[in-house]
């Protein structure tokens, strides 16, 4: 997609979804204000109206407006700007009150402001109280915060009062009992809680005013740090200081960079900071580290990513539903949303800096060292990608990361193949060609490499199978390498065909009274295949779609598919049939523990019927199979819960084939033959009982 189209898409998206501040920044940065005058005007109208009506809207106005260079000629905007300036100490009350010709919402706010100014205490009294906070911070108690709160407007009064509730926590770290206990008496979790609470309660305060109110906390905690410093071990100090990322800049002062550098090596969490933009904090601190320190930090960050992911519920359905109290799915999803995107962004940023450092050192490495570099780095890189790929916010970020891996010579065959596939998916021809040239210098991929790519990264070629074209062109003559992609696409298509049946009957996924439409994926695959007509390797996929022309799962369609597999891979079709029976059994077991689905039951039955019909059609071929291949198939078939009296003709034919094997001297067939005879006897008895019950009911 061209830049112009991408910008147009973003403009429409931001405007429709009400993301007006983002839209205003985009229009200004790209110089498109006049070309989108209506969107620009309506966006300003919306954000101004929101700021005049809601406190949250006004807070957002204060935070966002400074980044824009072309304010509108609007009386409501001028009033908001002056009011924000008053709060931040840049304007006087007279500057706010002198404005005339305001819209109704602004006039109402101006009237409230005038009432506040006329009723507030004298500046001298407020100044006296604040001076005590600055000059005697160690003596400030809850009473002083309550006294100050009574002099403040409503927007600040509660925050100041809340700080009064917290000051006792900070003072307690210096009382005699805690001081005599040394390090053992310090609760790191208490410090973390205090730090987070101070950030939350002062976040919306004007900057200078916030620093004055925080000063007593900083003073008390600084005294604590000074008392503990002589006995501190590096890990203790790291934990202590790392527990207060919000207060740390105030505690460290001019030595902040030095403290952060030491802290980043011993306490990974300290890299985040505790500000509105944690990524900027992380980036600033990481930039100052050496490559060895960055690698140590990377190790800690990787562990944290895995720890965050390890909280995912294990979808072993029996355990998952036995005790609903054990897993709070909503809490987990919320935690994932909060942490994984941030951790992923930090991981990619740190990798980028490490890879850049490695790139600068490449000229001095020997061929052996370069080979060792790939051996060590590629598994780590790919493992981290698999952990974080769902949290990477855009395809461009993913491609930028892969590009950096290639440039640092840390990519092996798998990274090269993955880059080709992903760049084909996102149509990044330049990087794809560089990856192909990189692959030219490496050994040919193995079947295991292709299986990894096909199974782990299927989302980049299904249903958009056109993404495979570069790989098909490159390895067209080696079906053994690429066959796994056709198999994987067919498996994905089958899942797509069955999904509407399952969703229609599943209470967990039911979509009200809405009709479940047929899946879109088969149609997409068909269109994509039209552009890949010359690649015979995908004939298996074409056959699957030919067998299911209505894009729904049927007995006839599955029978057709089994025959297509027989034509394409005659030596493997009976193993495929065995796998189909086994998969049906596993799905049925899952059904018992998961959902009693009628559609799932029908799907299993139809698959089983298709296998029976296929075996009946090719019973002569079945009779020629060696018992080593036939015995597992028969065991699975005869134990299948879907076997019924109606299958007796097929069982009789199968029993005769086995009898012929026994007569020919294959003694191993006798046991299977006896099993069939016992099963037929059981089915006859079962049929007789059912018939008697029906007659009795009549």
Q: pLDDT for 444-458, tens place per residue?
A: 999 999 999 999 999
**Separation between Cα atoms, residue 90 and residue 83, nearest integer Å:** 10
**Separation between Cα atoms, residue 496 and residue 518, nearest integer Å:** 9
- CA-based R_g, the chain, Å: 35
- Res. 64: pLDDT tops 60: yes
DSSP state of 467: G
**Nearest Cα to 485, choosing from 429, 432, 433, 447?**
447
Query: Token digits for 360?
Result: 């600068």
Summarised one tens digit per residue, pLDDT across range 532-579 is: 999 999 999 999 999 999 998 889 999 999 999 999 888 889 999 998
**H helices of 30-153, where?**
37-53, 55-64, 75-87, 93-97, 104-119, 123-135, 142-149
Q: Cβ distance 628 to 593 under 8 Å?
A: no
**Separation between Cα atoms, residue 490 and residue 542, nearest integer Å:** 9
What's residue 46's pLDDT? 93
Q: Cβ distance 409 to 370 under 8 Å?
A: yes
**Most confident range, picked from 166-175, 584-593, 640-649:** 166-175
- Look at the block and give the residue holding tokens 């299977």: 672
Query: Token digits for 272?
Result: 């985040």
Q: HSE of 546 in the Cβ direction (CA atoms, 13 Å)?
A: 13
- Look at the block and give the residue holding tokens 């479940």: 516
Residue with the larger pLDDT of the pair 446 and 304: 446
Query: Token digits for 207?
Result: 């900057």
**Separation between Cα atoms, residue 200 and residue 206, nearest integer Å:** 14
Structure confidence at residue 398 as a pLDDT band (50, 70, 90): very high
**Separation between Cα atoms, residue 194 and residue 163, nearest integer Å:** 10
Q: Tell me how many degrees the CA angle 312-314-318 measures, rounded to the nearest 5.
A: 145
Q: Cβ distance 247 to 198 under 8 Å?
A: yes
- DSSP string for 533-593: TT-GGGHHHHHHHHH-TTSS--HHHHHHHHHHHHHH-GGGHHHHHHHHHHHHHHHHHHHHH
Q: Cβ distance 500 to 517 under 8 Å?
A: yes
What's residue 338's pLDDT? 58
**Separation between Cα atoms, residue 540 and residue 190, nearest integer Å:** 63
What's residue 327's pLDDT? 37
- Res. 331: pLDDT tops 60: no
CB atoms within 10 A of CB 296: 16
Summarised one tens digit per residue, pLDDT across range 468-488 is: 999 999 998 888 899 999 999
**Nearest Cα to 521, choosing from 499, 546, 554?**
499
CB atoms within 10 A of CB 423: 26
Q: HSE of 382 in the Cβ direction (CA atoms, 13 Å)?
A: 22
Segment 358-362 mean pLDDT: 92
Query: Token digits for 261?
Result: 């550098």
- DSSP string for 629-681: HHHHHHHHHHT-TT--GGGHHHHHHHHHHHHHHHHTT-THHHHHHHHHHHHHH
688 cis-preceded (ω within 30 degrees of 0): no
- The average confidence (pLDDT) of the chain is 83
What's residue 688's pLDDT? 55
Summarised one tens digit per residue, pLDDT across range 206-249 is: 888 899 999 999 999 888 888 887 776 666 777 787 788 888 88
Which H, E and C letters describe 594-633, residue by residue?
Answer: CCCCHHHHHHHHHHHHHHHHHHHHCHHHHHCCCHHHHHHH
- The percent of residues in the chain predicted with pLDDT above 70, rounded, is 84
**Separation between Cα atoms, residue 69 and residue 528, nearest integer Å:** 47
Structure confidence at residue 597 as a pLDDT band (50, 70, 90): low
**Separation between Cα atoms, residue 675 and residue 693, nearest integer Å:** 27
**Separation between Cα atoms, residue 156 and residue 538, nearest integer Å:** 67
Summarised one tens digit per residue, pLDDT across range 28-45 is: 888 888 888 898 999 999
Strands (E), 315-397: none
Helix (H) or strand (E) holding 687: helix 668-697
Q: Name residues whose C-beta falls within 8 Å of residue 162's C-beta, 6 or more positions apart in sequence.
A: 201
- Res. 640: pLDDT tops 90: no
DSSP state of 446: P
Segment 384-412 mean pLDDT: 91
Structure confidence at residue 467 as a pLDDT band (50, 70, 90): very high
Report how far apart, in Å, the C-alpha atoms of 331 and of each of 311, 325, 326, 437, 643 are. 11, 12, 12, 46, 45
What's residue 262's pLDDT? 62
Report how far apart, in Å, the C-alpha atoms of 421 and of each of 428, 471, 542 are. 10, 7, 21
């Amino acid at each position: 997609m061209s830049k112009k189209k991408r910008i147009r898409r973003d403009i429409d998206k931001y405007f429709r979804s009400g993301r007006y501040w983002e839209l205003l920044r985009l229009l200004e940065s790209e110089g498109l204000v006049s070309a989108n005058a209506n969107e620009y005007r309506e966006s300003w109208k919306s954000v101004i109206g929101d700021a005049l009506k809601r406190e949250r809207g006004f807070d957002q106005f204060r935070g966002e407006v400074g980044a824009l260079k072309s304010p509108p000629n609007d009386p409501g905007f001028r009033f908001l700007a002056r009011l924000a300036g008053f709060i931040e100490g840049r304007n006087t009350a007279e500057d706010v009150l002198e404005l005339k010709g305001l819209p109704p919402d602004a006039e109402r706010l101006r009237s409230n402001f005038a009432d506040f100014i006329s009723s507030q205490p004298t500046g001298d009294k407020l100044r006296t109280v604040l001076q005590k906070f600055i000059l005697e911070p160690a003596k400030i108690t809850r009473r002083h915060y309550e006294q100050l709160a009574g002099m403040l407007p409503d927007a600040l009064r509660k925050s100041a009062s809340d700080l009064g509730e917290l000051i006792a926590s900070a003072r307690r770290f210096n009382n005699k009992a805690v001081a005599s206990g040394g390090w053992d008496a310090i609760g790191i979790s208490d410090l973390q809680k205090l730090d987070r609470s101070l950030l939350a309660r002062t976040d919306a305060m004007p900057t200078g005013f916030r620093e004055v109110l925080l000063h007593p906390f900083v003073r008390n905690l600084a005294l604590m740090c000074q008392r503990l410093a002589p006995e501190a071990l590096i890990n203790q100090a790291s934990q202590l200081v790392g527990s207060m990322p919000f207060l740390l800049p105030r505690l460290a002062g001019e030595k902040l960079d030095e403290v952060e550098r030491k802290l980043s090596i011993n306490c990974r969490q300290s890299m985040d900071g505790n500000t509105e933009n944690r990524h900027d904090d992380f980036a600033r601190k990481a930039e100052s580290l050496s490559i060895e320190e960055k690698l140590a930090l990377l190790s800690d960050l990787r562990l944290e990513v895995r720890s965050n992911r390890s909280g995912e519920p294990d979808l072993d359905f029996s355990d998952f539903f036995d005790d609903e109290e054990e897993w709070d799915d909503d809490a987990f999803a919320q935690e994932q949303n909060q942490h994984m995107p941030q951790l992923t962004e930090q991981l990619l940023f740190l990798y980028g800096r490490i890879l850049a450092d490695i790139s600068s050192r490449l000229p001095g490495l020997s061929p052996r060292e370069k080979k060792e570099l790939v051996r060590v780095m590629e598994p780590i890189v790919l493992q981290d990608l698999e952990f974080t790929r769902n949290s990477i916010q855009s395809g461009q970020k993913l491609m930028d990361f892969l590009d950096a891996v290639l440039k640092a010579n840390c990519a092996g065959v798998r990274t090269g193949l993955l880059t080709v596939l992903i760049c084909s998916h996102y149509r990044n021809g330049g990087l794809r060609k560089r990856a192909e040239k990189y692959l030219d210098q490496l050994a040919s991929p193995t079947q295991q490499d292709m299986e990894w790519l096909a199974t782990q990264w299927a989302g980049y070629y299904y249903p958009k199978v056109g993404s495979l074209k570069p790989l098909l062109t490159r390895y067209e003559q080696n079906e053994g390498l690429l066959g796994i992609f056709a198999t994987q696409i067919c498996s994905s298509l089958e899942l797509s065909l069955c999904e509407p049946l399952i969703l229609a009957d599943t209470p967990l996924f039911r979509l009200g009274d809405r009709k479940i439409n047929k899946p879109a994926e088969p149609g997409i695959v068909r269109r994509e295949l039209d552009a890949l007509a010359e690649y015979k390797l995908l004939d298996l996929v074409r056959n699957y779609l030919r067998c299911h022309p209505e894009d729904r799962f049927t007995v006839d369609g599955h029978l057709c598919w089994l025959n297509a597999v027989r034509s394409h891979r005659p030596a493997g079709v009976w193993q495929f049939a065995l796998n189909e029976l086994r998969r049906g059994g596993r799905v049925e077991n899952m059904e018992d523990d998961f959902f009693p689905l009628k559609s799932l039951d029908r799907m299993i039955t139809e698959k089983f019927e298709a296998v029976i019909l296929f075996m009946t059609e090719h019973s002569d071929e079945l009779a020629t199979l060696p018992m080593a291949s036939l015995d597992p198939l028969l065991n699975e078939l005869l134990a299948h819960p879907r076997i019924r009296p109606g299958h007796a003709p097929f069982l009789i034919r199968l029993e005769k084939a086995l009898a012929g094997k026994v007569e020919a001297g294959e003694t191993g067939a006798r046991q299977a033959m006896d099993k069939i005879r016992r099963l037929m006897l059981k089915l006859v008895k079962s049929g007789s009982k059912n018939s008697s019950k029906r007659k009795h009911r009549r």
